[in-house]
Structure 1
Amino acid sequence: MKLSRRTRAVAAVAGAASIALLATACSTNGSSGGSSDEKITLNVTTFGTMGLDDLYKSYEKANPNITIKATNIDTGGNALTDWKTKQAAGSGLPDVQAVEEGWLGQVMQVSDTFTDLSKYGAGDIKDRWVDWKLKQATDKDGRIIGYGTDIGPEGLCYNSKLFAAAGLPSDRDGVASLFGGKDATWDDFFKVGEQYKAATGKAFYDQSGFVWNAMVNQLPAGYYSKDGKIDVTSNDDLKKQWEKLSGGAAAGLSSGQTAWDWGKGKAFTDGSFATFMCPGWMLGVVKGQVETAGGDATSGWDFADVFPGGPANWGGSFLTVPTQSKHPKEAAALAAYLTTAKSQVAAFQAAGTFPSVTEAQSDSGVTGDSYLTKFFNNAPVGKILASRADGVVAQYKGPNDSVIQEQVFGPATQELDKGTDGTTAWNDALTTLKNLDLK
């Protein structure tokens, strides 16, 4: 199971960022490629859908000496493989490398192979971001090696038509109250799921893996303790959440979908499930899957300002400058420009990626209508995501966090969905973890 935030299922997104936004962004701190007239090509590697393409064009227009050669890799997992291969070879890395939160821990182990952006003005702009985002990209020696792009606060996607057919509230406020509002718990979520199952005979959520991912991200410590050691076997909070998850699967609440493969979107339109875990970047995935299956805004999907267990963050990326770059000053300037408030607003409008820059979070370009609004029953998507971002605390992610999520608990959650009891699936996960011999 691949839990990369940038997936092969990422939908084509609509709505290019406005020229006005891009032009304004060019005038902000970090937009200049330097005073030299030397012709420079900056190579940039990203993944998935980050909403940066129009920003590249705008930057080149404002900096005629700069040419941007962009490479986009389909998934975060494949981008990790690409980075690790080139990192090990000692050559081939771009001037600007996008790094996913899930593998930032691996990057931090070799943080000295990335440029300290403090040398190029990071200290002057460090207040742009929510504080935990900057801390994530600051190594143990105080070096800032990445500028934050988006974050992934989670809300609940639900199908209002399916809720109504089950006799449940279907309006956003009613749905939020149904799950407990600000005090929503996973117990509430599974209880409502059982009510839905009893009324319809159908599953409540798409598969156990995404639910588990959200549960883990909410804990004070996930797969690693705060001192940087893998801590799964003795993590009582983790085990308690697993018991709740396995109970939901045993009750038939999971549709057992394969992660990132929903039958060309059909599962989103045929009533296979009624709820879906939705960080901001996932909203575009839902829209794309529905439309791939021939659906549209009338298919019933909506987005509620509520999430079981409270605030949660899934995903987010950083722009780094590997020391292999021959143009670190210019690369740092480009990374700074791509993460200004105006640039992040433009990226949100283009791809639904929720900003990590605080000024951008309250911008009308985020809080107002976006290309997602109409599809999600006129939901105020940006306002909801800003609300869901409140209270998020960054969890420590160790170097093999994503490996544990994908290779250890990926198969284990699939076991749950196939009918394996929770104790057996848990013990199988621990056996896999031991055999991997991770650090």
Structure 2
Amino acid sequence: MKSRALRRTVIVTAAVSTAALALAGCAGSSNGSGSGDSNEKITLTVTTFGTMGLDSLYKKYEDAHPNITIKATNIDTGGNALTDWQTKQAAGAGLPDVQSVEEGWLGQVMLVSNTFTDLRDYGADKIKDRWVPYKVDEATDKDGRIIGYGTDIGPEGLCYNRKLFEAAGLPTDRDAVAELFGGANATWEDYFKIGKQYHEKTGKAWYDQSGFVWNAMVNQLPEGYYKTDGTLNVKDNADLKARWALLSQGAADGLSSNQTQWDWGGGKAFVDGSFATFVCPGWMLGNVKNSTEAAGGDASSGWDFADVFPGGPANWGGTFLTVPTTSKHPKEAAALAEYLTSAPSLVTAFQAAGTFPSVIEAQTDPGVTGQSDLTKFFNDAPIGTILGKRAEGVKAQYKGPDDAVIQEQVFGPSIQLLDSGKADGTKAWNNAMKLLDDLVINK
């Protein structure tokens, strides 16, 4: 759910302690009681990030509510949005009335969940069946407070380039591509095996860089960097080490194009044959399209979308709309968040950005399952239908408070060592464990 070369995952550039967040949140919080007179002229501020597909909805809401003006701020990346929230949360000032929160940093938010409005006070319990159950579970804190309304989820399918597949003698029909990787039984082992064959045939890379592949591998495990009881789950984790071995061998075999995350040479790598496959949660499809077009490409560049994913169901990302307790208009802010996450609104968002709705009714709406500019770009792939199938079997993975730090600042540099050839799998893993000690365990 990002614009062009903008990231979905987060990079924590400013560490803010839990204590500081909590103290600031308490100092600046106000439960409020709404604006009082429903005809009072008020301004609601909204902070989003990347491409959430909500922009066109603000004017519609203002037209239906003449007393409300919406002032929207969109931050370019999830990482910068996290830093912005951390800074304002610590200061106890400057937070918007409606704050978007990404799944990857939900663990940090839950440490200070009391600084967010309990949306049950404004009817959340009455509408919670709107969403897939795990989306509501993710937004519910340990005290049972619902602090966010879900926008999208990120079920993953596989983007592939038909032209590059054809040149390598691989099938190009999306159903045949799904079978190539094993269909419902697709494995990472097969993905890397076919990638090695592709590289030997063409001399080209198989995927853009190892970071996104690693993220997908971790996200589909029952437990990722944290166990469900909240304890760290990295060192001596056999599942992680097995996937790391596959990833490091893939890099050694030349399967990574070593692209800069979220840049891809200004999108050029999507049109010059630098890589043939790409891991794609729904929101990433907009990135592929926008990046390709930014580099002068279009639908003829050859990108398609298959109903298959190595290792089975996986989810990457998903956002929530929250109402910080500092809002002077929590009732109106909650109503706006409810509107923006209604089925019609999320259908509009999907058509604009490919963000697959977390609302059940919207998932089967013709506006999601039918044709759009996005489906035309991907060779008329039934994107909404595929994403609906890819969402089956997905279970919410517990995200701990330093989940984003571990993904980006612990494994990120080590993955770059792999892709650049500066370290083998063992050295890169050991480097990650040192960073884990420095940034998480001994911080």
TM class, shorter-length: over 0.9
Matched with 2:17 is: none
Contact 2:4 2:291 in 1 (8 A): no
Deviation for aligned residue 1:249: 0.9
Output the amino acid matched with 2:111.
Q
Residue in 2 aligned with 1:73?
75
Q: How far off is 1:34 after superposition?
A: 8.8
Contact 1:34 1:330 in 2 (8 A): no
- Aligned residue for 1:436? 439
Sort the Cα spacing of 1:34 and 1:248 in 2 relative to 1 into closer, same or farther, 3 A: farther
Q: CA separation in 2, counterparts of 1:34 and 1:180?
A: 59
Which of 239, 242, 249 aligns to 1:240? It is: 242
Alignment check: 8 A CA contact 1:10 1:288 kept: no
After superposition, the C-alpha distances for 1:369-397 in whole angstroms (9 at most, x for unaligned) are 12211111111111111111111111000
The correspondence for 2:281, drawn from 265, 279, 282, is: 279
The match for 2:385 among 373, 378, 383 is 383
Q: Which amino acid aligns with 1:316?
A: G
2:295 aligns with 293
Aligned to 2:314: 312
- Other-structure match for 2:427: 424
Where in structure 2 are the equivalents of 1:133-152 lying within 5 Å? 133-152=135-154
CA contact (8 A) 1:156 1:277 kept: yes
Looking at structure 2, the residues matched to 65 and 289 of structure 1 have their Cα atoms a distance apart, in angstroms, of 39
Distance 1:230 1:6, change over 3 A: farther
Provide closer, same or farther for how the CA distance between residues 392 and 231 of structure 1 changes in structure 2, counting only shifts above 3 A: same
Q: Quote the Cα distance in structure 1 between the aligned partners of 2:400 and 2:4.
A: 25
Letter in 2 for 1:423: T
Partner of 1:6: 2
> 2:2, 2:287 within 8 Å by CA — same for their partners in 1?
no
Q: 1:292 offset after TM fit, Å? A: 1.2
Cα offset, 1:437, TM superposition = 3.3
Report deviation, 1:6. Answer: 3.4
Assess if the C-alpha contact under 8 Å between 1:10 and 1:284 holds in 2: no
Per-residue deviation at 1:35?
Answer: 7.0
Q: CA deviation at 1:9?
A: 1.0
Structure-2 separation of matches of 1:179 and 1:255 = 20
Q: Deviations over 1:250-300 (max 9, x none)?
A: 111111111112111111111110000111111111111111111111111
Amino acid at match of 1:237: D
**In the alignment, what sits opposite 1:108?**
110
Q: Distance in 2 between matches of 1:34 and 1:165?
A: 66
What is the CA distance between 1:8 and its match in structure 2? 6.4
Tell me which amino acid in the other structure corresponds to 1:98: S
Indicate the residue corresponding to 2:97 in structure 1. Answer: 95
Q: CA deviation at 1:121?
A: 0.2
The alignment's TM-score, normalised by the length of structure 2, stands at 0.92
Matched, 1:162 2:164: yes
In structure 2, do the counterparts of structure 1 residues 7 and 62 end up closer, same or farther at CA, with 3 Å as the change threshold? closer
Displaced runs of 4 or more, over 2 A? 5-8
Is the 1:7–1:260 Cα contact (8 Å) retained in structure 2? no
Cα distance in 2, alignment partners of residues 59 and 7 from structure 1:
23
2:45 aligns to what? 43
* Aligned counterparts of 1:204 and 1:349: Cα–Cα separation in 2: 29
Shift of 1:10: 4.2
Runs (5+) with no aligned partner, structure 2: 8-34
Contact conserved, 2:115 with 2:324, CA < 8 A, in 1? yes
Aligned to 1:185: 187
TM-score (norm 1): 0.92
Cα offset, 1:199, TM superposition: 1.1
> Aligned-pair distance for 1:235?
1.3
Q: CA–CA distance in 2 between the matches of 1:226 and 1:8?
A: 34
Return 259-268 or 170-179, whichever deviates more. Answer: 259-268
Q: Secondary structure at the match of 2:226?
A: coil
* CA shift for structure 1 position 198: 1.5
Distance 2:37 2:176 in 1: 56
1:247 is aligned with what amino acid? Answer: Q
User: 116, 123, 128: which one pairs with 1:121?
Assistant: 123
2:5–2:267 contact (8 Å) kept in structure 1: no
RMSD: 1.5
What is the CA deviation profile of residues 170-215 of structure 1, one whole-angstrom value per residue up to 9, with x for unaligned ones? Answer: 1101100000001100011011101111211111111110100000
Aligned to 1:204: 206
**1 CA distance for matches of 2:71 and 2:3?**
22
Q: What per-residue deviation string (whole Å, max 9, x for no partner) do you get for residues 13-68 of structure 1?
A: xxxxxxxxxxxxxxxxxxxx997111111111111111111111111111111111
